[in-house]
Structure 1
Amino acid sequence: MKNIKVLGTGCSKCKTTYNNVLEAIKQLGIDAKVTKIEDIEEMMKYNILTTPVLMIDEVAKIKGRIAQIEEIKELLK
């Protein structure tokens, strides 16, 4: 099972990235745990400067921009 985290303060880019993650998982039909982290102190633990951030299995894959559905699917394969 993939462990996916979307770090962001709740801005529209963060929400879009989160929704794109859910859609990518649905399209691939894979089992994944998706967590949305909006708490600033929690985000600081990951040493993140720009949001949104897409993390897969504790590795930051995309930072500072919206992760597109096709891009997420490639990262999850």
Structure 2
Amino acid sequence: MEIKVLGTGCAGCRALHETVKQAVAELGLDATVVKEEDIMKIMSYNVMQLPALVVDGQVAAKGRKLSPAEVKELLAK
């Protein structure tokens, strides 16, 4: 599983990245977590609201920080 946190480095983006890493560890998932800050790569996902969460190439959430429970729910799908 590949998980990307899209964001330009703002506090919300950094917080989501930490929340995702925590959720992956708690769920024991075999996943790679990447923080993508390159605006051109972010735009390739057609995301205009940050932070955004991409799971296996699909945008799962955008425009808001997620709680650990929300991240776990998205990753469990």
The TM-score range, normalised by the shorter chain, is over 0.9
| C-alpha contact 1:3 1:33 (8 A) present in aligned 2 | yes
Alignment deviations for residues 22-72 of structure 1 (CA, whole Å, 9 cap, x no partner): 000111111101111101111111111010000111111110000211111
Q: Which residue of 1 aligns with 2:29?
A: 30
Whether the 8 Å CA contact 1:14–1:66 is kept in 2: the answer is yes
Q: TM-score, normalised by structure 1?
A: 0.93
1:74 paired with 2:73, answer: yes
Maintained 8 Å contact 1:20/1:68: yes
Q: What's the C-alpha RMSD, in Å, of the aligned pairs?
A: 0.8
Q: How many residues are aligned here?
A: 76
Runs (5+) with no aligned partner, structure 1: none
Structure 1 consecutive aligned stretches of length 4 or more whose deviation exceeds 6 Å: none
Question: Does the residue aligned with 1:21 lie in a helix, a strand or coil?
Answer: helix
Runs of 5+ unmatched residues, structure 2 = none
Residue in structure 2 matched with residue 42 of structure 1 by the alignment: 41
Task: Give the letter aligned to residue 15 of structure 2.
Answer: T
**Percent same amino acid at aligned positions?**
45
TM superposition score normalised by structure 2: 0.93
